[in-house]
Chain A
């Protein structure tokens, strides 16, 4: 489809060309039936190498303790919390696409929803790793949950850190359930397609005996609607609660009411950038260009202009309120962010998050794969630096100049960050090989001729 012929007033077809249902099956199931290509093995081994760096650094942290990290007093939250907030943010695109766009009847979500949901689950898994390591006693995570213990003590229900535990674990569970419910009919289709006996047992086990019965579809569709209804406020609540970790404290630069909406916008922003980046490869590698179309990528880029502008507005508003609020500590923190020892990080963040995504206003850039890929990467770099700037600048210079400090990450900090990327991409690479990356049943329902003519 040429760029010039685009007519935005008409709803675009969800799938380009008009594949039949059988062709949809064949296209989507193809990667599951072939032996992985050489390219896949190369990327997989790179991802696995990064993951093993992380495993080594985590092992050393377990064995030696948190002294290996760069955290200190006053900067007691370093890469661990930066990475946690970053990964939770990445995990926001999936549920947003699958739940909010579902409720808004955005049919174009069909092509990308399954992949984005899987990405959410993997990103939240990466995120969950960091608070656990941050506790320093990784083998005592049960104290995070209110269980009747021999101390007779309960968790502190008024602490944002505890809210975080509930928010992230609920988000993970509900995302997983959402994803799995979507997979059941597809697994049944794969079960009936496959000729491999072992695969058949596995698919039968996980498809639970699904028979595509319309007496079931009826409840299934209702359940999907209910899940979407619950997941929508949930996805907004998760990063809101993560932002409470900062906003509920009294540290200058953290104690602001703009944090919840600003964090949610930032999370969607970075999540969409990550989905867009990875999908560019997936559609190329698995011949899904007619299902995950350029229009999909363009729409994601539009979401990125919107959320990127919201983030830019939040940066400006923080500066304005710091001046207008008249609190000298607050004023100092924001001047320090822009001009202090971490100014390089601040300006990286501003240029990556506010300036570069504005290029998406140009249709040519918005529909150019290399351009959008590079901008997507810069967005994720920028969003990582946003969390770094918020956490480190505020902690390193707060009220008393006598207790100021500086934070420098160590080898282990960087190693665990690389390891989390390794884990994420390892899981994604396994996912694209063992499960359908696009929802087969949803896609069949939206192809041409998929629904009765009189309805």
Chain B
């Protein structure tokens, strides 16, 4: 068996008076690594043990100030810089309204962080592997006895001397406490399969839970996000109508806005005679015509209407629009060709709206004029 490691020598006392006396004696005997364990705080023990005042108050002050300043700065940043909103006609920085939240955050941070500091920094908790745990000594001091524990790492420690000293000050049940050997094993535990398993399980549970909550659960009934409503949606069937179709057809003879039937179907001459361009050659109209020409006409007729198709060879080349024939055509004839198509050119009625066709014609006129500029145009 392994050799046992001594942690401390302990002694028990029955009354608070005795333990205060023992604490005084221990301090005057020069021991520094010792502790007093009592089931409740005993008055005057700090002085008897020679303890300095707790500095927890300083931490509380720092955390409180941190809460106050950070909350005020955050609210200032939100209301002045990140998203200024006028609320109730008040200034953006309405500081009196910030007081409640600043107060609450101050209290929250100061109290919670002070407790965390105490537990983690001062107590070094959680720590269930301290040698005193599960000893008869611990069981008694947590109920009705008062104990003293002089640790083996005290510079003047000597087991015999300490035991004699404790007997002299009136201690009972004096005895040694040993380290649990398992707890003395300070090896590398980070690659312990158990530890890694717990980490992996935590990761899977957290990520899986988050994924399920935000991507699945929140879209299940009753979290409908108002998508389940008592109204009929497009393409859905419906029992309301005898044909079971949710969508209704328009009443017969209905004409959609901008879709009047073309009256000169197969009558190019009448179109040339009767149709007049409703648009004036303003800059807007020409710009619009240019956009539409480049989109729909230029692939075959060329960017400048010269008949120089980008698709040369794949389609029969269309004629140039700068021929005398086209230049002398009335606007109505061009409109008729765009609407009806001609030879291999299909109808563009479904792609180009009525007004866009007229705008394209204005642009073609501009191109024709530019291509056949007169001497006077250059002046």
What residues of chain A have their CB less than 8 Å away from a CB belonging to chain B? 20-22, 25, 62-63, 139, 146, 152-154, 156-159, 162-163, 166-167, 170, 173-174, 177-178, 181, 185, 188-189, 191-193, 204-205, 208-223, 226-227, 230-231, 233-234, 237, 241, 244, 440-442, 444-445, 449-455
Given the complex of chains A and B, what is the CA–CA distance between A213 and B23 in angstroms?
13
| Contact (Cβ within 8 A) A177 B115 | yes
Q: Which of A146, A193, A215: most chain B CB closer than 10 A?
A: A215
Interface 0/1 of B83-99, CB less than 8 Å to A:
10101101000100110
Name the one of B43, B94, B127 contacting A455, with C-beta atoms under 8 angstroms: B43
User: Whose C-beta in chain B lies nearest to the C-beta of A206?
Assistant: B126
Given the complex of chains A and B, what is the CA–CA distance between A312 and B119 in angstroms?
45
Q: A63-B222, A209-B125 are known contacts. Are A170 and B104 too (CB-CB below 8 A)?
A: yes
Residues from chain A with Cβ under 8 Å of B143 in the complex: 21-22, 25, 189, 192-193
Q: Report the minimal beta-carbon distance from B240 to chain A, rounded to whole angstroms.
A: 24
A sample of 26 inter-chain contacts (CB < 8 A) reads: A21-B39, A22-B144, A62-B222, A152-B82, A154-B83, A156-B85, A158-B88, A158-B90, A174-B112, A192-B138, A208-B127, A209-B123, A209-B125, A209-B129, A214-B37, A214-B38, A217-B45, A219-B122, A219-B123, A222-B54, A223-B114, A230-B64, A231-B111, A440-B39, A449-B15, A454-B17
| Contact (Cβ within 8 A) A157 B57 | no
User: Whose C-beta in chain A lies nearest to the C-beta of B37?
Assistant: A212
Known A158-B97, A231-B111; 19 more pairs at CB < 8 Å: A157-B79, A157-B101, A158-B94, A158-B98, A174-B112, A177-B112, A193-B143, A209-B128, A209-B129, A212-B142, A214-B46, A217-B38, A219-B56, A222-B56, A227-B111, A233-B107, A445-B40, A450-B40, A452-B44
| Contact (Cβ within 8 A) A173 B108 | yes
| Contact (Cβ within 8 A) A63 B221 | yes
Residues from chain B with Cβ under 8 Å of A167 in the complex: 100, 104
Q: Report the minimal beta-carbon distance from A342 to chain B, rounded to whole angstroms.
A: 30
Q: A166-B100, A166-B105, A452-B16 are known contacts. Are A209 and B56 too (CB-CB below 8 A)?
A: no
| Contact (Cβ within 8 A) B51 A218 | yes
Q: Which of A146, A188, A213, A449: most chain B CB closer than 10 A?
A: A213
User: Whose C-beta in chain B lies nearest to the C-beta of A163?
Assistant: B100
Residues from chain B with Cβ under 8 Å of A450 in the complex: 16, 40
Residues from chain A with Cβ under 8 Å of B88 in the complex: 158
Name the one of B54, B100, B107, B118 contacting A241, with C-beta atoms under 8 angstroms: B100
Q: Report the minimal beta-carbon distance from A364 to chain B, rounded to whole angstroms.
A: 37
| Contact (Cβ within 8 A) B57 A226 | yes
Residues from chain A with Cβ under 8 Å of B133 in the complex: 209, 211
Q: Which of A173, A178, A209, A442: most chain B CB closer than 10 A?
A: A209
| Contact (Cβ within 8 A) B87 A158 | yes
| Contact (Cβ within 8 A) B40 A185 | yes
Name the one of A174, A214, A452 contacting B17, with C-beta atoms under 8 angstroms: A452
Given the complex of chains A and B, what is the CA–CA distance between A454 and B20 in angstroms?
10
Q: Report the minimal beta-carbon distance from A407 to chain B, rounded to whole angstroms.
A: 25
Name the one of A146, A159, A185, A213 contacting B35, with C-beta atoms under 8 angstroms: A213
| Contact (Cβ within 8 A) A214 B35 | yes
Q: Does B366 contact A (CB under 8 A)?
A: no
Given the complex of chains A and B, what is the CA–CA distance between A136 and B60 in angstroms?
39
Name the one of B44, B46, B90, B101 contacting A162, with C-beta atoms under 8 angstroms: B101
Q: Does B141 contact A (CB under 8 A)?
A: yes
Interface 0/1 of B141-158, CB less than 8 Å to A:
111100000000000000
Q: Report the minimal beta-carbon distance from A26 to chain B, rounded to whole angstroms.
A: 9
| Contact (Cβ within 8 A) A218 B46 | yes
Q: Does B132 contact A (CB under 8 A)?
A: yes
Given the complex of chains A and B, what is the CA–CA distance between A212 and B140 in angstroms?
11
